[in-house]
Amino acid sequence: MIVRKFLQWSETAGARDRARAANALARAFIISDLSREDAKAAEAAMTILLDDPSPLVRLAMAEALATSAMAPRSVIHGLARDQLDVAGLVVCCSPVLNDQDLVDLAADGRAGVQRAIAMRRDLNPAVCAALAEVGGQMAVGEMLDNETARVARITLRRITERFGDDAGLRSRLLERSDLPCDVRHALIMKVGEALAGSSFVAGIVGHSRIKTVTKDACQHATLQLAGNIAGDDIPALVEHLRLAGKLTPAFLMHTLCVGNIDFFASAIASISGVSGSRVRGLLVDGRRNAIHSLYRSGGIDSIVCEVFVSATLLWRRATQVEGGADAMAITQQLMEQYAQAQTQAHDQNLVADLLMLVERMNLDFRRQAAKNFAASMTFEAA
C-alpha cells in the first residue's frame, strides 16, 4: 500500500520534491525502527527509485545511504552502477560493498569509479592489486596517495611494469619507504632513460655527453642502493641486477672495495651457484686458491680474478685492524700492487680497465674525504 501510494504521488511530483522524499525515505530506513513489513516496503520503494529519470532523486538517496552499514545491498549495488556523481559517492564510502564488489566495479573500467575505489579508507591488498592490473593512471595515482591503502610489494612491481614511464607515478613510487629494492632500481633506470631522452638535459650537458652522464648517474644510484639495503632485500636486488646484466666486474669490484660484503657475497653466490654461507666462509678465511676458484666459478676472467683475490685479501686484512676497512686505503693499496701491470695482452687489458676503475674510485674517495674534512673544519670554526 505504501509503495503504491508513493508511486502514485511521484507521478505528479516534481524532481526536487521526489528527491526530498527519496532522501527522507532512505534516512528513515537506516535510522527509524521500522517493522519488518515497513522496512520491506521502504526497500521496494528505493529499488523503484533507482529507475527515476532524475539524477537528483538518485543522488539524494545515495547521500542518505552512502556511509551506512544498514543500507540495502541491492539498492547500494544499483547506485554503484549509476552515473558517476551518484556512483562515486557510494563506491567511495559505502561499507556495504565488499572486496569482490569493488574488484568487479574496478573491472568495469570507468575511470571515475576506479578513482572512487582508490580513495576508500583501508583499501584491501586484493582491491589494490585489481586497481594496479586494470586501473587507469589517475586511479593508480589516487591509490598511491591513499595512506590507508594496503598495497602489497607485488602490486608495486605491477604498477612499475604498467606505469614506469609516467613521471608522476614514478615520483610517487620512489617516495615510498616500502618500495622493493629491485623495483626501486628499475625506476632509477627509467629515470635515466627519461633524462637521456630529454632535450632540456641535452641542452645543459651536450648531446655528446648525455648518455655517459646519465649512465654514470644511474650506476652511482645503483651502488648507493646496494649499499643501503640489508637482510631479505639483498637477494632480491642481486637477482634483479643479475637478470638485467648489471653484475659486471666493475660493479662487483666497487662493492668489494667499499666493504659492502653482504651484498658482494650474495652477488658472488648468485653468479657462481655456490651457497651464500660457503661464499662468506671463503671470503673471511678461505685460502687464496680457493677464493680464486670461487671467482672463476662465477665466470670472472682468470687474470681478473687475481685482482679480485687481492682486493679480498686487502679487505680481510683491513677488517682485522683497529678502524676496520677503509675504501680509500684498499683502493690505494690495490693500485700500488698492480702499478707495474702490463697492458699488451687482451687479458691484461681487462686488468688495466679494472684498475682504471679502481683509480677513479680512489679519486672519488679522496674528494669525498677532503669535502668531509673541510666541512668539519667549518663546523669547528663556527
Q: Using one digit for the tens of pLDDT, what is the confidence trace for 87-97?
A: 999 999 999 99
Rounded to an integer, the average pLDDT of 336-354 is 63
Interatomic CA distance for residues 262 and 283, integer angstroms = 11
Q: Is 10 a member of any domain? A: yes
The mean pLDDT value of the chain amounts to 86
pLDDT at 320: 80
CA distances from 105 to 62, 79, 142, 163, 216 (A): 17, 12, 16, 21, 45
User: Are residues 8 and 85 part of one domain?
Assistant: yes
Rounded to an integer, the average pLDDT of 292-307 is 89
Out of 94, 129, 157, a domain closes at 94
Q: Is 47 a member of any domain? A: yes
- Residue 52: what are its φ and ψ, rounded to 5°? -60, 135
Reference 57, options 92, 29, 83, 95; nearest CA is 83
User: Are residues 141 and 77 part of one domain?
Assistant: no
User: Are residues 11 and 83 part of one domain?
Assistant: yes
Taken in order 44, 50, 54, 60, the sign of the CA dihedral is positive
Share above pLDDT 90 across residues of the chain, in percent, rounded to a whole number: 45
Domain that holds residue 13: 1-94
Which of 50-64, 197-211, 245-259, 314-328 is predicted least confidently? 197-211
pLDDT at 68 exceeding the cut of 90? yes
pLDDT tens for 302-319 read 888 889 999 999 988 888
pLDDT tens for 211-269 read 777 777 777 788 888 888 877 888 989 998 998 888 888 889 888 888 889 999 999 99
User: Are residues 42 and 119 part of one domain?
Assistant: no
pLDDT band at 153 (very low <50, low <70, confident <90, very high): very high
Out of 82, 114, 145, a domain closes at 145
User: Are residues 80 and 14 part of one domain?
Assistant: yes
Out of 94, 110, 134, a domain closes at 94
User: Are residues 107 and 86 part of one domain?
Assistant: no
Q: Exposed, middle or buried by CB within 10 Å (0-12, 13-18, 19+), for 268?
A: buried
pLDDT band at 373 (very low <50, low <70, confident <90, very high): low
Query: How many domains does the chain divide into?
Result: 2
Q: Is 34 a member of any domain? A: yes
User: Are residues 107 and 53 part of one domain?
Assistant: no
User: Are residues 59 and 13 part of one domain?
Assistant: yes
Q: Is 74 a member of any domain? A: yes
pLDDT at 1 exceeding the cut of 80? no
User: Are residues 85 and 1 part of one domain?
Assistant: yes
User: Are residues 126 and 89 part of one domain?
Assistant: no
Interatomic CA distance for residues 98 and 76, integer angstroms = 11
Distance of CA 305 to the CA centre of its chain: 36
Q: Say if CB 170 and CB 185 are below 8 A apart.
A: no
Rounded to an integer, the average pLDDT of 17-35 is 87
pLDDT at 207: 66
Q: Is 245 a member of any domain? A: no
pLDDT tens for 157-170 read 999 999 999 999 99
User: Are residues 110 and 80 part of one domain?
Assistant: no
